[in-house]
Amino acid sequence: MKVLLLKDPKDKESGPDPYVKELGLCGFEATLIPVLSFEFVSLEDLFEKLSHPERYGGLVFTSPRALEAIKICLREKSKNEVEEIGLSPQGEKSGNAEKLAEYICSREKPHSSSLLFPCGALKREVLPTALKEKGIPLESLTVYQTAQHEHLQQSLSSYFSQQGIPASIVFFSPSGVKFCLQHIQKLSGDSANQIKFAAIGPTTAEAMEAAGIPVSCTAESPTPQDLAAGIQKALRPQNCILSE
């Protein structure tokens, strides 16, 4: 059975995309279609803030693009001093903004040094609001903007004409729902009700429900294993074994 993943592929240098690999191990034929393009902004401001680490108690990341912005910023501004960022992540298994906020609040003291939050222009306010309520200062800085990938419509049309209707389509972000839904509905026509729509997490699931998309499964955590388990349950419930 075919599964369409609406996400950017993993860097080629890092090997096969883990979602494609995991779904393949489960007997699915997965295809990636990039949905988003990104433009980095405010790198001068970011570098100025990074130049004064004593001002901050830590960095908060909720997307790989924010980390990429820091890498670009440091590479351009201090090539002789910084080759790679040697950060030790904490709370990486939180899975969503609500749980990450709980984790940060359990470790940070109110009115301590501000946390620096490089983020996208479309960020939700869940994390900043939760930390503010607990008196934990958070300084947000928009470092990238999101737009529709220039080849999205063409890629979707090519997929549906060559591969047909997939058994499942997975959305990886609310922006993916916004940019893809109309094209998918047009291309799938009356067969749309045959597709099992999946979400990588609760935030994306909420966006899907708000757009009128029936959510057949939501990954328990944003990992290839949990997504594959959820799709297995949705498509083959009698044979599904959920991962712990």
Q: Which residue spans of the chain are classified as CATH 3.40.50.10090?
A: 2-35+151-235, 39-147
Per DSSP, the three-state class of 43 is helix
So what CATH class is 39-147? Answer: alpha beta
Closest of 179, 170, 169 to residue 211, by C-alpha: 179
> What pLDDT, on the 0 to 100 scale, is given for residue 95?
72
Q: Give the single-character DSSP code of 237.
A: G
pLDDT tens by residue, 182-191: 999 999 999 9
Closest of 10, 8, 12, 18 to residue 228, by C-alpha: 18
Specify whether the CB–CB gap between 199 and 208 falls below 8 A. yes
Q: What sign has the CA pseudo-torsion 60, 63, 66, 72?
A: positive
pLDDT tens by residue, 4-25: 999 988 755 556 899 999 999 9
Specify whether the CB–CB gap between 187 and 169 falls below 8 A. no
> How far does CA 137 lie from the centroid of its chain?
24
Q: What is the mean pLDDT of residues 20-37?
A: 95
Q: Which long-range contacts (CB under 8 A, 24 or more apart) does 162-166 make?
A: 163/2, 163/31, 164/2, 165/191, 165/194, 165/195, 166/1, 166/2, 166/3, 166/4, 166/31, 166/195
**Averaged pLDDT of the chain:** 88
Sorted by sequence, the CB contacts under 8 Å of residue 215 that are 6+ apart come out as 197, 198, 199, 205, 208, 209
Domain spanning 2-35+151-235 has what CATH number?
Answer: 3.40.50.10090
Place of tokens 């209707």: 165
pTM: 0.76
Q: Give the single-character DSSP code of 103.
A: H
